[in-house]
Amino acid sequence: MPAFKRVLLKLSGEALMANGSHGIDPKRLNDYVDEIIAVSELGVQIGIVIGGGNIFRGLSGLKEGYDRVRGDYMGMLATIINGLALQSAFESKKAKSRIFTAINMEPVAEYYMKSKVTEALEQGYITIFSGGTGNPFFTTDTASTLRAIEIEADVMLKGTRVNGVFTDDPETNPNAEMYDEISFNEALKKELRILDLTAFTMCMENALPLIVFNMNVKGNLKNLILGEKIGTLVKI
Protein backbone atom coordinates (compact mmCIF):
# COMPACT_ATOMS: atom_id res chain seq x y z
CA MET A 1 0.00 0.00 0.00
CA PRO A 2 1.43 3.42 -0.95
CA ALA A 3 2.78 5.57 1.88
CA PHE A 4 1.71 8.74 0.06
CA LYS A 5 -1.47 9.74 -1.77
CA ARG A 6 -0.14 12.76 -3.67
CA VAL A 7 3.50 13.64 -4.41
CA LEU A 8 5.51 16.24 -6.27
CA LEU A 9 8.55 14.87 -8.11
CA LYS A 10 11.33 17.31 -8.98
CA LEU A 11 13.75 16.29 -11.72
CA SER A 12 16.68 18.25 -13.08
CA GLY A 13 16.94 18.90 -16.79
CA GLU A 14 20.54 17.72 -16.66
CA ALA A 15 19.32 14.27 -15.61
CA LEU A 16 17.75 13.84 -19.05
CA MET A 17 21.17 14.15 -20.69
CA ALA A 18 22.34 10.86 -19.14
CA ASN A 19 26.02 10.76 -20.17
CA GLY A 20 25.63 13.36 -22.90
CA SER A 21 26.64 17.02 -22.76
CA HIS A 22 23.25 18.48 -23.68
CA GLY A 23 19.80 17.62 -24.99
CA ILE A 24 17.58 14.65 -24.15
CA ASP A 25 18.76 11.05 -24.05
CA PRO A 26 15.80 8.93 -25.30
CA LYS A 27 16.66 5.93 -23.11
CA ARG A 28 16.96 8.02 -19.95
CA LEU A 29 13.67 9.76 -20.76
CA ASN A 30 11.89 6.43 -21.24
CA ASP A 31 13.45 4.93 -18.11
CA TYR A 32 12.13 7.84 -16.04
CA VAL A 33 8.71 7.64 -17.66
CA ASP A 34 8.47 3.90 -16.89
CA GLU A 35 9.34 4.58 -13.24
CA ILE A 36 6.70 7.31 -12.98
CA ILE A 37 4.00 5.23 -14.69
CA ALA A 38 4.67 2.40 -12.21
CA VAL A 39 3.88 4.83 -9.37
CA SER A 40 0.80 6.21 -11.09
CA GLU A 41 -0.52 2.67 -11.52
CA LEU A 42 -0.46 2.31 -7.72
CA GLY A 43 -3.15 5.00 -7.58
CA VAL A 44 -0.73 7.69 -6.41
CA GLN A 45 -1.40 11.20 -7.72
CA ILE A 46 1.84 12.58 -9.10
CA GLY A 47 2.92 16.02 -10.25
CA ILE A 48 6.29 16.62 -11.92
CA VAL A 49 8.48 19.69 -12.16
CA ILE A 50 11.45 19.37 -14.49
CA GLY A 51 14.31 21.80 -14.98
CA GLY A 52 15.78 22.98 -18.26
CA GLY A 53 19.53 22.86 -17.61
CA ASN A 54 20.08 20.30 -20.37
CA ILE A 55 19.04 23.00 -22.85
CA PHE A 56 19.72 26.39 -21.24
CA ARG A 57 20.39 27.87 -17.80
CA GLY A 58 19.65 31.52 -17.14
CA LEU A 59 22.58 31.98 -14.76
CA SER A 60 24.98 30.44 -17.27
CA GLY A 61 23.67 32.82 -19.89
CA LEU A 62 24.42 35.74 -17.58
CA LYS A 63 28.11 34.84 -17.72
CA GLU A 64 27.93 34.98 -21.51
CA GLY A 65 26.48 38.47 -21.50
CA TYR A 66 22.75 37.68 -21.63
CA ASP A 67 20.36 39.93 -19.75
CA ARG A 68 19.35 38.02 -16.56
CA VAL A 69 15.62 38.44 -17.08
CA ARG A 70 15.75 37.37 -20.71
CA GLY A 71 18.07 34.49 -19.82
CA ASP A 72 15.66 33.26 -17.16
CA TYR A 73 12.80 33.33 -19.65
CA MET A 74 14.92 31.26 -22.02
CA GLY A 75 15.43 28.79 -19.18
CA MET A 76 11.66 28.65 -18.63
CA LEU A 77 11.15 27.81 -22.29
CA ALA A 78 13.70 25.02 -21.91
CA THR A 79 11.60 23.49 -19.11
CA ILE A 80 8.58 23.58 -21.40
CA ILE A 81 10.50 21.70 -24.09
CA ASN A 82 11.41 19.05 -21.51
CA GLY A 83 7.82 18.94 -20.28
CA LEU A 84 6.52 18.33 -23.79
CA ALA A 85 9.08 15.56 -24.24
CA LEU A 86 7.84 13.93 -21.03
CA GLN A 87 4.22 14.21 -22.10
CA SER A 88 4.99 12.70 -25.51
CA ALA A 89 6.76 9.78 -23.83
CA PHE A 90 3.80 9.20 -21.50
CA GLU A 91 1.37 9.27 -24.41
CA SER A 92 3.48 6.79 -26.38
CA LYS A 93 3.00 4.38 -23.46
CA LYS A 94 -0.75 5.09 -23.22
CA ALA A 95 -0.40 6.86 -19.87
CA LYS A 96 -2.74 9.79 -19.18
CA SER A 97 -0.87 13.06 -18.71
CA ARG A 98 -1.43 16.81 -18.88
CA ILE A 99 1.09 19.62 -19.06
CA PHE A 100 0.58 23.01 -17.44
CA THR A 101 2.72 26.11 -17.95
CA ALA A 102 3.25 29.07 -15.64
CA ILE A 103 3.26 31.31 -18.72
CA ASN A 104 0.22 31.26 -21.01
CA MET A 105 1.32 29.26 -24.06
CA GLU A 106 -1.94 27.73 -25.25
CA PRO A 107 -2.33 25.71 -27.45
CA VAL A 108 1.17 24.35 -26.67
CA ALA A 109 0.10 23.50 -23.12
CA GLU A 110 -2.58 24.40 -20.59
CA TYR A 111 -2.19 27.55 -18.52
CA TYR A 112 -1.64 26.68 -14.86
CA MET A 113 -4.68 26.98 -12.61
CA LYS A 114 -4.88 25.15 -9.29
CA SER A 115 -8.48 24.02 -9.74
CA LYS A 116 -7.71 22.49 -13.14
CA VAL A 117 -4.61 20.78 -11.79
CA THR A 118 -6.43 19.36 -8.76
CA GLU A 119 -9.14 17.98 -11.03
CA ALA A 120 -6.53 16.41 -13.32
CA LEU A 121 -4.73 14.77 -10.38
CA GLU A 122 -7.97 13.39 -8.96
CA GLN A 123 -8.83 11.96 -12.38
CA GLY A 124 -5.54 10.04 -12.44
CA TYR A 125 -3.59 12.21 -14.87
CA ILE A 126 0.16 12.51 -14.41
CA THR A 127 0.58 16.28 -14.29
CA ILE A 128 3.64 18.11 -15.59
CA PHE A 129 4.41 21.65 -14.42
CA SER A 130 6.71 23.65 -16.69
CA GLY A 131 7.78 27.25 -17.14
CA GLY A 132 9.08 27.54 -13.57
CA THR A 133 7.10 30.06 -11.52
CA GLY A 134 6.61 32.22 -14.60
CA ASN A 135 8.90 34.86 -13.10
CA PRO A 136 12.63 35.51 -13.51
CA PHE A 137 15.02 35.15 -10.56
CA PHE A 138 13.25 32.01 -9.27
CA THR A 139 14.73 28.54 -9.71
CA THR A 140 12.96 25.30 -10.53
CA ASP A 141 13.64 24.29 -6.90
CA THR A 142 11.39 27.17 -5.87
CA ALA A 143 8.85 26.29 -8.56
CA SER A 144 8.78 22.70 -7.29
CA THR A 145 8.21 23.78 -3.71
CA LEU A 146 5.52 26.25 -4.74
CA ARG A 147 3.63 23.65 -6.77
CA ALA A 148 3.99 21.01 -4.04
CA ILE A 149 2.46 23.40 -1.50
CA GLU A 150 -0.29 24.51 -3.89
CA ILE A 151 -1.40 20.98 -4.77
CA GLU A 152 -1.13 19.97 -1.10
CA ALA A 153 1.34 17.19 -1.81
CA ASP A 154 2.17 14.85 1.06
CA VAL A 155 5.87 15.08 0.21
CA MET A 156 8.26 16.56 -2.31
CA LEU A 157 10.64 14.08 -3.91
CA LYS A 158 13.89 15.35 -5.38
CA GLY A 159 15.26 12.82 -7.83
CA THR A 160 19.02 13.16 -8.25
CA ARG A 161 22.01 11.13 -9.42
CA VAL A 162 23.27 10.49 -5.88
CA ASN A 163 21.66 8.40 -3.14
CA GLY A 164 20.63 11.22 -0.81
CA VAL A 165 22.03 14.10 1.24
CA PHE A 166 25.67 13.69 2.26
CA THR A 167 28.07 15.42 4.63
CA ASP A 168 30.06 16.43 1.53
CA ASP A 169 29.87 15.96 -2.23
CA PRO A 170 30.01 12.16 -2.67
CA GLU A 171 31.19 12.54 -6.26
CA THR A 172 34.39 14.26 -5.12
CA ASN A 173 34.77 12.95 -1.57
CA PRO A 174 34.53 9.13 -1.23
CA ASN A 175 34.48 9.49 2.56
CA ALA A 176 31.29 11.55 2.56
CA GLU A 177 28.57 9.99 4.72
CA MET A 178 24.88 9.95 3.87
CA TYR A 179 22.16 11.14 6.23
CA ASP A 180 19.14 8.87 6.58
CA GLU A 181 17.21 11.76 8.10
CA ILE A 182 17.95 15.39 8.91
CA SER A 183 15.96 18.41 10.06
CA PHE A 184 15.68 21.57 8.00
CA ASN A 185 17.36 23.56 10.78
CA GLU A 186 20.30 21.17 11.00
CA ALA A 187 20.72 21.19 7.22
CA LEU A 188 20.80 25.00 7.31
CA LYS A 189 23.39 25.06 10.09
CA LYS A 190 25.59 22.61 8.20
CA GLU A 191 25.11 24.64 4.99
CA LEU A 192 24.06 21.56 3.03
CA ARG A 193 23.03 22.55 -0.46
CA ILE A 194 19.83 20.57 -0.82
CA LEU A 195 17.63 23.27 -2.36
CA ASP A 196 18.13 26.96 -2.92
CA LEU A 197 17.42 29.07 0.16
CA THR A 198 14.04 30.38 -1.04
CA ALA A 199 12.74 26.87 -1.73
CA PHE A 200 14.21 25.56 1.51
CA THR A 201 12.53 28.30 3.54
CA MET A 202 9.19 27.60 1.87
CA CYS A 203 9.47 23.92 2.80
CA MET A 204 10.20 24.85 6.42
CA GLU A 205 7.42 27.42 6.73
CA ASN A 206 4.85 25.05 5.24
CA ALA A 207 6.10 21.87 6.97
CA LEU A 208 6.58 20.20 3.59
CA PRO A 209 8.77 17.10 3.99
CA LEU A 210 11.41 16.47 1.36
CA ILE A 211 13.02 13.20 0.30
CA VAL A 212 16.22 13.31 -1.75
CA PHE A 213 16.94 10.05 -3.57
CA ASN A 214 18.70 8.53 -6.56
CA MET A 215 16.28 8.53 -9.50
CA ASN A 216 18.73 6.56 -11.64
CA VAL A 217 18.35 3.36 -9.61
CA LYS A 218 15.60 1.25 -11.15
CA GLY A 219 12.67 0.75 -8.79
CA ASN A 220 13.77 3.41 -6.30
CA LEU A 221 10.82 5.71 -6.92
CA LYS A 222 8.20 2.98 -6.59
CA ASN A 223 9.84 1.41 -3.54
CA LEU A 224 10.09 4.81 -1.87
CA ILE A 225 6.39 5.43 -2.52
CA LEU A 226 5.60 2.03 -1.01
CA GLY A 227 7.29 3.11 2.23
CA GLU A 228 10.79 1.70 1.89
CA LYS A 229 13.47 3.89 3.50
CA ILE A 230 15.34 5.19 0.48
CA GLY A 231 17.36 8.38 0.26
CA THR A 232 17.37 11.14 2.88
CA LEU A 233 14.27 12.49 4.60
CA VAL A 234 14.42 16.21 5.41
CA LYS A 235 11.70 17.41 7.77
CA ILE A 236 10.84 19.88 10.54
- Split into its structural domains, the chain has a count of 1
Output the CA angle 192-176-199, nearest 5 degrees.
20
Per DSSP, 112 falls in state P
For the ranges 28-37, 59-68, 92-101, 112-121, the lowest mean pLDDT is seen at: 59-68
Per DSSP, 13 falls in state G
Asked whether residue 146 is domain-assigned, the answer is yes
| 202 and 142 Cβ atoms separated by less than 8 Å | yes
| 5 and 45 Cβ atoms separated by less than 8 Å | yes
Is the pLDDT confidence value at 70 over 80? Answer: yes
- 71 Cβ neighbours under 8 A, 6+ residues apart: 56, 58, 59, 60, 61, 62
Angstrom distances, CA of residue 190 to CA of 97, 142, 165, 195: 39, 21, 12, 13
CA distance 156 to 233: 10
Asked whether residue 128 is domain-assigned, the answer is yes
- Residue 162 CB: number of other CB atoms within 10 A? 18
Tell me the H-state helices in the chain.
26-40, 58-63, 68-92, 114-122, 140-150, 184-189, 197-205, 220-225
Q: Give me the pLDDT at residue 61, please.
A: 60
Per-residue pLDDT reduced to its tens digit, 127-168 = 999 999 999 999 999 999 999 999 999 999 999 999 999 999
Q: Residue 218: which CATH number?
A: 3.40.1160.10
173-196 exposure pattern, b = at least 16 Cβ within 10 A, e = fewer: eeeeeebeebebeebeeeebebbe
Asked whether residue 1 is domain-assigned, the answer is no
Per DSSP, 98 falls in state E
Q: Give me the pLDDT at residue 66, please.
A: 79
The predicted model gives 79-100 an average pLDDT of 98
Averaged pLDDT of the chain: 95
The predicted model gives 76-97 an average pLDDT of 98
Per-residue pLDDT reduced to its tens digit, 15-69 = 999 888 899 999 999 999 999 999 999 999 999 999 999 998 766 666 777 788 9
Q: Give me the pLDDT at residue 19, please.
A: 87
Q: Give me the pLDDT at residue 224, please.
A: 98
CA distance 164 to 179: 7
Chain center to CA of 217: 16
- Residue 169 CB: number of other CB atoms within 10 A? 10
Asked whether residue 20 is domain-assigned, the answer is yes
Domain span holding position 163: 6-235
Predicted confidence band at 95 (pLDDT cuts at 50, 70, 90)? Answer: very high
Share of the chain above pLDDT 90, in %: 91
Give the residue, 67 or 214, on which the prediction is more confident.
Answer: 214
Tell me the H-state helices in 93-228.
114-122, 140-150, 184-189, 197-205, 220-225
